[in-house]
Amino acid sequence: MKKILFALGFVMFASLASAQEYIEPVEKWKAAEVWGNNYHGWSFHQDVSVDFTVEGQDGRFTPTDEEIAETENLLQKRIAYVNRDHYNQEGMCPIIDEHMRMYRRQYVGFTNDRGDHIVWVNGLWDDNMSDELLASDVILTRGGCGHFWHLKVNLATRKVYGLEVNESGDTKIVPRVKKPQPRISKSKGRNKKGRIRKTGIIHSPEEKVFN
């Protein structure tokens, strides 16, 4: 009898272990941490909203480890030329291409109307910003001069372009742009139901129709 109970218990334990093994996580990670030659950063998922676009934008994509490695290969080869004017990098401000390994990165993927994959790269050199903060959201800043910059890398054309370097001054994190929320307009009649009136930009023809 004990052998039978033991056998049944083992089968139930094995079934539970097998069931747990195949459970798929529901939550999507916002960003995947990536490392490589002279770089460390986070690749953000395509569903994470951002407050900026690229020229000819047609969509978003999630950069893979291979695409990040290719992005960094192009970036590190061409950053000295792209940064040849050393804009906002005078005096105590670091020259970006001389300190590349000091910047932690954030990567956001875009597609344009030609189907090109464009990776927006955000470089941040600030020990007060924790890894947890940089993994939680795309961080835009003001001030800090050469400690903060961003640019774009087109993986199809292999072009590195659009370098922007922060101005001098104290570093401040730029707050997120608040998105307009639907607003309920109350009808005058008691029996008439209120209807949702959408504010802001109308993105599709379907949004113009209200019941």
Can you give the residue ranges of every domain in the chain? 31-173
The pLDDT assigned to 149 comes to 98
Distance CA(103)–CA(183), nearest Å, equals 42
Low-confidence ranges of the chain (pLDDT < 50): 2-8, 10-27, 184-187, 192-211
Direct distance between the N- and C-terminal alpha carbons of the chain, in angstroms, rounded to an integer: 68
The pLDDT assigned to 29 comes to 67
The pLDDT assigned to 177 comes to 78
The pLDDT assigned to 90 comes to 86
Q: State how far Cα 188 lies from the chain centre.
A: 45
Distance CA(193)–CA(110), nearest Å, equals 41
The pLDDT assigned to 107 comes to 98
Q: What is the pLDDT of residues 24-53, one digit of tens each?
A: 443 456 999 999 999 999 999 999 999 999
Distance CA(162)–CA(75), nearest Å, equals 12
Element (H, E) at 92: none
The pLDDT assigned to 1 comes to 52
pTM above threshold 0.75:
no
